[in-house]
Structure 1
Amino acid sequence: MSPPSFRHRAFQGWFIVAAVFAITFVGFGSAYTFSAFVESLQREFNASRGAVSLVFSLAGFLYFSLGAISGPLADRWGARRLAILGMALIALGLVLAGMARTLGEVYAAYTFGVGLGVGCAYVPAVGVVQRWFVRRRGLASGLAVSGIGVGTLVMPPVASLLIDTLGWRQAYFILGGLAAMFGIGASLLIKDDPYTQGLAPDGDSRHMDAPTPNRSGLSVRDAVRSPQFVGLYIACLISSFGVFVPFVHLVPYALDHGIAQSAAVLLLGAIGAGSTAGRFFLGGIADRIGRQPFLLITFSGMALALTIWAVATNIWTLAVFALLFGVFYGGWVAILPAVMVDYFGGRNASGIIGILYTSVAVGTLIGPSVAGFAFDVSHSYTIPIIASVGANVCALIIAAFVMRMPVTAVA
């Protein structure tokens, strides 16, 4: 057998994956630095932990719910424009957060900058990757969104270092500049469809009379009415009540247990490290064992990890939790878009994925903020953590029922 050609080895789809990796790195890396700013914002504005936590929750609600709008717009107008706009908004939001004089101004800057920016860019960018691949969709999707994991690993420690050396305001200014430079640059590399470039998915040879699988599939209207979509929507909604609690409260939890600030921030980085591993490796495994059954594994894995958090009191058990949770969280994020396209086809991938993510938006809004207010009342995270475990067990049961239903459409 002759060796693969350079064109095959340099399939343009992998460059699209790299661009989306950079976009998710900048977008979510910037968003997940928030945990490093919690203590500074509490001191600066004399605010409770619940009130400060609401900043992240509002931004998270917006960037997941906005996918229901940005996804269909990307299907019609192209993802590049939405991604560029999103990265510019993130940069502006971070800079304005650094200029804020009240906690309300932080709410506005973070919500309408970071929240709106990620909402504009994330779903359109991830939807593009689904069109460039079919057989290796799980792997490609995992690699693309692994930028979230690497961003979570790298950005919070960088933010903490900047806060310690320059102050929290200057830290926001620098992060805003980095977001503008790298985020907008990566967005310019996006191309929406392999067929418009004279290519076919997965690097296959294109035959002019061959069917175009990524242009087939259900309409958004038909997809969201299907029992599979409804079931997965409910499962993701319930799971999300607990999934995003660690991103806001793990660092404060560690500080409450006598762990130094530098080590506590590294725990958030450990989630990023585990998440990166999960996205890099588990997406390819899911392609082999089945992407729908693999989704069940991610729900059960997150429940197990959160159970460890409920009893963790020192740096080592918290590190085990963070790594394990990151692996299964990363696998969950990586596989969700691919599962959607497996069920409903690729023609309206961004629109369908965007509507699914509104479920995550509601969970992101409620989970971290309720956990913060519960802490203000009880001075303990026990109840929020146990509730997070239960949420993922419920999601697992619901998703298991969905997996027994026949596939509606295969891309």
Structure 2
Amino acid sequence: MSRSKVFAGWWVVAGAFLCMLTGYAVAYSFAAFFGVLESEFGARRGETALVFSIAAFLYFQFGLPAGLIADHTGPRPMVIGGLILVAAGLVVAARASSLWQIYVGYGLGVGVGVGFSYVPSIAAVQRWFVRRRGAASGLAVAGIGVGTLVGAPLAHELIAIIGWRQAYLVLAGLTVVGAIVAGALVRPGPERYGLFPDGDPPRPGGGSAVPTGYSLGGAARTGPFWVIYVGAFLMSFGLFVPFVHLAPYARDIGLGEGFGVLLIVLLGLGSTVGRFLFASVTGWIGRRRSFAMMYVGAAVMLVVWSLSTSAPALVVFALLFGAFYGGFVAIAPSLAADYFGAGALGSIIGALYSGVGFGALLGSPAAGYAFDFFGSYTGAILVGAVLCLVSFLITLMMPEPREWLARHQQPR
């Protein structure tokens, strides 16, 4: 390949960015639908929050089988098929006559669809880069932040103009377009094309570009795997609560539903900035320490939210919590690649994210039911903060990837 051309890995980054923008714009648009679904079906907050939680649980659980399949077939079929499932789920939701049909359409369709597309796309990026892995991952997962930024306000405007059912259909059409374009851009690792990660020239005397590293079974028998798994699992109890409950929280304290949607936009803005900002920090203090910072930052911000009753305080919370969330999502795949290599990275990332699914399933409904029972979100928010601090402490105890690999030379 001529050195004057753009390295093909950056097109993979663009495809992964668009894949995540499309899927997560739909996923995080739920905040705009929360109020109308609650009114339409006469549901309690815990019941309404369960719609998003089912989707979040499934997209983290399906990351493992999606990663396993993509490790053998390549990412393209998974990206296209997953996003088409998202669109199909939205069509089902648009025709719902009861809340359980929203559970099936939005919860199942978006959950399985995002799960099938997300892990293969982000794992594909890791294979194309080593030296620039952090920057490439940050760019790719910025799609989640941009999706959060545009999904809720777009849905809010569509609901106001054409109603929630037609809004779901418009989002379905946009998702199909995203599936086609993202699928055209993502591709298997550079070894399939005789290339090397980062666009490096062939090594003197030859050498293989085929990725090496731990198998899923080998990774699952290591300490770092379980530290990352448990840390992400504990954090996830509080991680998704703002994406579901921040808009109704704003409405409850008299700031209005429109301001609540604005807060979701600010979460997306903070998330987008955080992915770039904290991805660059990893070069100074290392990915493990940077990852630990995301946990403690999220904990502090949850405490801030529990004390916030004014618009400026909630704006600060949304921006900074979004930034730490974005950094967490940006650093996690690269940290896994640092420990376990790229050979079976799709299935490894999928397995690690499965723990997040359980926290996502339980956290938001628990916060909703806590509000239904106590009339306040405070206790649920503070429990989430404490769990983030536990994740911070166990991550600090984990060895650095380079030190750990020096004691574990042979992939298994």
TM-score (ref. length: structure 2): 0.96
- 1:400 Cα deviation (Å)? 1.1
Confirm whether residue 343 of structure 1 aligns to residue 339 of structure 2: yes
1:206-259 deviation digits (Å, cap 9, x = unpaired): 237444466111111010110111111111111111111111001011110101
Query: Take 1:44 and 1:178, find their aligned partners in 2: how far apart are those partners?
Result: 25
Query: Take 2:179 and 2:326, find their aligned partners in 1: how far apart are those partners?
Result: 21
1:293 and 1:403 in contact (8 A); partners too: no
Query: Take 1:5 and 1:352, find their aligned partners in 2: how far apart are those partners?
Result: 33
Partner residue of 2:211? 215
Partner residue of 1:6? 4
Query: Take 1:196 and 1:404, find their aligned partners in 2: how far apart are those partners?
Result: 31
Partner residue of 1:407? 404
Confirm whether residue 227 of structure 1 aligns to residue 223 of structure 2: yes
Q: CA RMSD in A?
A: 1.6
Confirm whether residue 68 of structure 1 aligns to residue 74 of structure 2: no
Partner residue of 1:301? 297
Query: Take 2:65 and 2:283, find their aligned partners in 1: how far apart are those partners?
Result: 29
Q: Which moved more, 1:192-201 or 1:70-79?
A: 192-201
1:26-62 deviation digits (Å, cap 9, x = unpaired): 0011000001101100110011010010011111000
Return the letter of the residue paired with 1:347: G
- 1:197 Cα deviation (Å)? 1.8
Q: Which runs of 4+ in 1 moved over 3 A?
A: 207-214, 403-406, 408-411
Q: 1:174-185 alignment to 2 at 5 Å?
A: 174-185=170-181
Counterparts in 2 of 1:214 and 1:306: CA distance versus 1, 3 Å: farther
Query: Take 1:327 and 1:79, find their aligned partners in 2: how far apart are those partners?
Result: 28
1:262-302 deviation digits (Å, cap 9, x = unpaired): 22101001010000001123212213431111101111111
Q: 1:256-295 alignment to 2 at 5 Å?
A: 256-295=252-291
TM-score (ref. length: structure 1): 0.96
1:88 and 1:184 in contact (8 A); partners too: no
Partner residue of 2:163? 167
Query: Take 1:399 and 1:214, find their aligned partners in 2: how far apart are those partners?
Result: 30
Query: Take 1:150 and 1:398, find their aligned partners in 2: how far apart are those partners?
Result: 31
Query: Take 2:205 and 2:17, find their aligned partners in 1: how far apart are those partners?
Result: 33
Return the letter of the residue paired with 2:331: I
Query: Take 1:317 and 1:366, find their aligned partners in 2: how far apart are those partners?
Result: 27
- 1:407 Cα deviation (Å)? 2.1
Partner residue of 2:78? 82
2:15 and 2:182 in contact (8 A); partners too: yes
Query: Take 2:399 and 2:247, find their aligned partners in 1: how far apart are those partners?
Result: 36
SS of the equivalent of 2:178 reads: helix
Partner residue of 2:18? 22
Return the letter of the residue paired with 1:407: W
2:194 and 2:209 in contact (8 A); partners too: no
Counterparts in 2 of 1:404 and 1:145: CA distance versus 1, 3 Å: closer
Give unpaired runs (5+ residues) of structure 1. none
SS of the equivalent of 1:135 reads: coil
2:71 and 2:347 in contact (8 A); partners too: yes
Query: Take 1:210 and 1:220, find their aligned partners in 2: how far apart are those partners?
Result: 28
Which one of the candidate residues 377, 391, 394 is aligned to 1:395?
A: 391
SS of the equivalent of 1:192 reads: coil
- 1:12 Cα deviation (Å)? 1.1
Which one of the candidate residues 146, 165, 184 is aligned to 2:142?
A: 146
1:100-150 deviation digits (Å, cap 9, x = unpaired): 111010000012210010010000110000000001111111110100000
- 1:183 Cα deviation (Å)? 2.5
Partner residue of 1:323? 319
Query: Take 2:69 and 2:283, find their aligned partners in 1: how far apart are those partners?
Result: 29
Return the letter of the residue paired with 1:26: T
1:95 and 1:173 in contact (8 A); partners too: yes
Return the letter of the residue paired with 1:24: M
2:85 and 2:110 in contact (8 A); partners too: yes
Confirm whether residue 94 of structure 1 aligns to residue 90 of structure 2: yes
Which one of the candidate residues 19, 22, 34 is aligned to 2:30?
A: 34
SS of the equivalent of 1:407 reads: helix
- 1:151 Cα deviation (Å)? 0.6
- 1:189 Cα deviation (Å)? 1.5
Counterparts in 2 of 1:211 and 1:364: CA distance versus 1, 3 Å: farther
Query: Take 1:74 and 1:270, find their aligned partners in 2: how far apart are those partners?
Result: 33
Return the letter of the residue paired with 2:159: I
1:57 and 1:366 in contact (8 A); partners too: yes
Confirm whether residue 360 of structure 1 aligns to residue 356 of structure 2: yes
Return the letter of the residue paired with 2:338: D
Identity, % of aligned pairs? 44
Query: Take 2:83 and 2:205, find their aligned partners in 1: how far apart are those partners?
Result: 38
- 1:404 Cα deviation (Å)? 6.0
Equivalent pairs counted in the alignment come to: 406
Partner residue of 2:201? 205
SS of the equivalent of 1:188 reads: helix
Partner residue of 1:191? 187
